[in-house]
Amino acid sequence: MPGKKRQLPTKSNQKPEPKSNKGTQDSFNFPAVSSKRGLKASTELLQSHGIFTVPGVLTPAEACSLVQAAESFGFEHQSSRGPAFGEALRSNGRIAVHSPAFAAQLWTASGLDLLMQQLPCGANAQGLNPNIRIYRYSSGQHFGKHIDESARLGPGLATQFTLLIYLSGSNGGKGFPAHLSELRGGETVFYEGRKSKEVARVAPEVGLALLHRHGDDCLEHEALAVQHGLKYILRSDVAFRSA
């Protein structure tokens, strides 16, 4: 696939997970996720580049509750040594929480489970990685060009897609907190080939899910710097059973 021709790719998991803010489902106040059906995916780039988006996976209220829970829990700053060490340049806050219960709820209640079954790539999808991460980017912070690796979750079970759900953006609507609506910048950009040709650019929208292939088929991508406001993202991965 186009994303394989890279020189010295930098990886997203360059450091062990932070220990001081690595919690469990009992220590993080996850909100309930309302039942959603009939989600529609934008799949124009799925076959060619392994990328698709799904609006409305979380409501603005659910996104706001996750941000509030994350701020109460506390972020740890994450940085890197840079491309010279095979690490993507990054600067952002990060939380990692192991929660099989929330991963299962998000997978089923959001409607992602049914949606994946309708896509050619989703026949063997089993659920989400219970390692739930939340990232916070303030003005000037970014995550440079990198690839995401696959994770083995058990015998015959491994992740194949990154799941990102934006928790802030200008489309929150009436009553959405102003500090979460003022976000500018922070787009996720995908590249292919040796010349790093841009093939997709996704702007943050509250509740929008962005899914893309990772592992051997991962396109190089980056999170552009936030120009104004705060960007919050929930990160997990879609796990698949070996065919």
Q: Confirm if 49 and 34 have CB atoms less than 8 A apart.
A: no
Question: Tokens 């058990």 map to which residue?
Answer: 154
| 138/229 Cα distance (integer angstroms) | 6
| 39/57 Cα distance (integer angstroms) | 8
Q: In this predicted structure, what is the pLDDT of residue 21?
A: 56
Q: In this predicted structure, what is the pLDDT of residue 195?
A: 84
Q: Would you write out the chain's pLDDT as a tens digit for each of its 243 residues? A: 343 334 445 556 444 444 445 655 568 999 999 999 889 999 999 999 999 999 999 999 999 999 999 999 999 998 776 666 667 778 899 999 999 999 999 999 999 999 999 998 998 999 999 999 999 999 999 999 999 999 999 999 999 999 999 999 988 887 889 889 999 999 999 999 888 899 999 999 999 999 999 999 999 999 999 999 999 999 999 999 986
Q: Which domains, and CATH codes, for the chain?
A: 2-11+41-241 (2.60.120.620)
pTM: 0.89
